[in-house]
């Protein structure tokens, strides 16, 4: 079927998504660990009907994410936030299955309001794995989680679980295994008083060649040793490799180098690339003899996706597909420069393309005042 959908658009492929989802189900069946989708990474609810067949629920970083999990996913809702307001708590306690506080002070402030619910605390174990200081949850002076171990033990009667989020893009099983041993050794006395523990997200266990069976055994042993239900909070691991940003070359300019300008933008449509200064992945690029810098059409001088080599010359009208455009891209898209927002298109399991959302001028004006 001819694809005549106007670019730019995000294209989510359910068949590719299903590959990751089946791995997540495999981990649950062999380890007992439940997985809740990290909505901060991916919140495109048009594919939730497929995802909820394989995931146990959602985890959030705000009231609105938690409500989205309840309204559109409909399974277990873990409600976490770095700082809840009283109005947040008043609303969220009506539908959350677990509320996880970032600090002891927040737990104590709202305990009377929510004590009938399973409550948890985020713990900063002061160890972590991250390629970027910006995303390191246990960096020096981190505000994310409780560090005082004695205070945690004293608070144990008020909670039923804890959350350790200490990884970011960690595909190193040996590192994870060592750090989990450390957590068990350091917090074992606390864990034995609880019912559940979340090991957070940032684990790339759906990556090719990841030692899944060792991972499952490690999780199962940890769960049995401390008699706790283990939760994982996958984000990127769920949607990696399943989506791309489809763009069209608008112009070719030359300034010492050939620059292809596409009808999308890093700042507006793949902001994580700009934040972490990483290049986009373009599967069609390789070791060809034609070298181009692929750049966005915003006014930002640094709006650049990267420099690549192609087998053939690029011309206006050529399609450029930017891979891995789901995680932390779709949730961060914005109206910088008033650029046209990419549509959201889903390639369903049967191969049919469905435009699930198209954005227009009214959406642009509606986001302002």
Q: Based on the fold, state whether residues 221 and 311 are members of the same structural domain.
A: no
Helix (H) or strand (E) holding 63: helix 63-68
Q: Mean of the pLDDT values across residues 337-360?
A: 97
Q: How far apart are CA 161 and CA 147, in angstroms?
A: 16
- Establish if 347 belongs to a structural domain: yes
- The answer on 296 and 153 residing in a single domain is no
Q: What confidence category does residue 259 fall into, taking pLDDT thresholds of 50, 70 and 90?
A: very high
Same domain? For 185 and 136 the reply is yes
Residue 10 lies in a domain: no
Q: CA-to-CA distance for 198 and 230, rounded, in angstroms?
A: 6
254 shares its domain with 145: no
pTM higher than 0.85:
yes
Q: What is the pLDDT of residue 3?
A: 67
Q: Which two tokens stand for residue 127?
A: 């160890």
First and final C-alpha spacing in the chain: 41
| Cβ within 8 Å of residue 243, ≥6 positions away | 10, 11, 12, 13, 16, 324, 325, 326, 330
Are residues 245 and 49 in contact, defined by beta-carbon separation less than 8 angstroms? no
Residue recorded with tokens 């970032």? 102
Structure tokens at 186: 């350091």
Which of 191, 206, 239 is the last residue in one of the domains?
239
Are 176 and 64 within one domain?
yes
pLDDT at 251 over 80: yes
Tell me how many degrees the CA angle 71-77-78 measures, rounded to the nearest 5: 140
Q: What's the pLDDT at 4?
A: 84
pLDDT reading at 2 higher than 60: no
- Model pLDDT, residue 284: 87
* H/E element, 142: none
Reported as a single tens digit per residue, the pLDDT across 329-339 is 999 999 999 99
Over the stretch 290-303, which tens digit does the pLDDT of each residue have? 999 999 999 999 99
Contact 78, 100 (CB under 8 A): yes
Helix axes 173-191, 212-226, angle to 10 degrees: 10
Burial of 236 (0-12, 13-18, 19+ CB in 10 A): buried
The tally of CA atoms less than 13 A away on the side-chain side of residue 365 is 3
Asked whether 42 and 235 are in contact (CB, 8 A), the reply is: yes
Nearest Cα neighbor of 235 from 66, 88, 40, 19 is 40
Whether residues 138 and 118 fall in one domain:
yes
| Integer Cα distance of 26 and 348 in angstroms | 22
Mean pLDDT of 161-184: 96
Q: State how far the Cα of 182 lies from the Cα of 33, in Å rounded to an integer.
A: 19
Segment 55-65 shows an average pLDDT of 98
Q: Does 194 lie in the same domain as 99?
A: yes
5 occurs within a structural domain:
no
Residue-range definition of the domain harbouring residue 35: 15-239
How many CB atoms neighbour CB 51 within 10 A? 23
Return mean pLDDT, the chain: 97
Q: What is the CATH number of the domain that holds 191?
A: 3.20.20.10
Looking at the fold, whether 147 and 20 belong to one and the same domain comes out as: yes
| pLDDT value at 1 more than 60 | no
Domain assignment present for 7: no
Mean pLDDT along residues 21-45: 98
Q: What is the total count of domains within the chain? A: 2
């Amino acid at each position: 079927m001819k694809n005549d959908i106007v670019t730019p658009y995000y294209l989510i492929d359910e068949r590719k998504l299903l590959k990751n989802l089946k791995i997540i189900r495999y981990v649950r069946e062999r380890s007992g660990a439940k997985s809740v989708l990290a909505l901060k990474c991916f919140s495109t609810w048009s594919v939730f009907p497929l995802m909820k067949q394989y995931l146990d629920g959602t985890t959030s970083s705000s009231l609105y994410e938690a409500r989205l999990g309840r309204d559109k996913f409909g399974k277990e809702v873990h409600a976490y936030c770095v700082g809840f307001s009283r109005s947040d708590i008043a609303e969220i306690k009506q539908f959350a299955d677990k509320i996880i506080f970032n600090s002891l002070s927040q737990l104590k402030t709202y305990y009377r309001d929510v004590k009938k619910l399973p409550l948890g605390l985020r713990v900063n174990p002061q160890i972590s794995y991250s390629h970027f200081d910006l995303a390191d949850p246990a960096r020096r002076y981190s505000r994310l989680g409780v560090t005082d171990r004695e205070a945690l033990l004293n608070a144990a009667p008020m909670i039923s679980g804890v959350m350790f989020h200490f990884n970011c893009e960690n595909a190193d099983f040996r590192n994870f295994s060592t750090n989990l041993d450390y957590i068990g050794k350091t917090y074992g006395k606390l864990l034995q008083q609880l019912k559940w523990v979340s090991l957070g997200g940032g684990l790339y266990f759906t990556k090719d060649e990841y030692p899944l069976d060792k991972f499952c055994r490690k999780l199962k042993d940890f769960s049995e040793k401390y008699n706790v239900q283990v939760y994982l909070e996958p984000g990127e691991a769920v949607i990696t490799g399943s989506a791309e940003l489809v763009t069209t070359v608008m112009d070719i300019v030359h300034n010492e180098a050939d620059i292809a300008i596409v009808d999308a933008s890093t700042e507006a449509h793949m902001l994580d690339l700009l934040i972490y200064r990483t290049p986009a992945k373009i599967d069609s690029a390789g070791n060809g003899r034609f070298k181009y810098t692929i750049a966005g059409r915003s006014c930002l001088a640094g709006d650049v996706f990267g420099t690549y080599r192609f087998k053939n010359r690029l011309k206006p009208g050529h399609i450029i597909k930017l891979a891995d455009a789901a995680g932390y891209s779709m949730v961060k898209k914005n109206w910088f420069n008033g650029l046209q927002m990419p549509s959201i298109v889903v390639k369903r399991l049967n191969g049919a393309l469905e435009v699930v959302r198209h954005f227009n001028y009214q959406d642009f004006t509606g986001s302002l005042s």
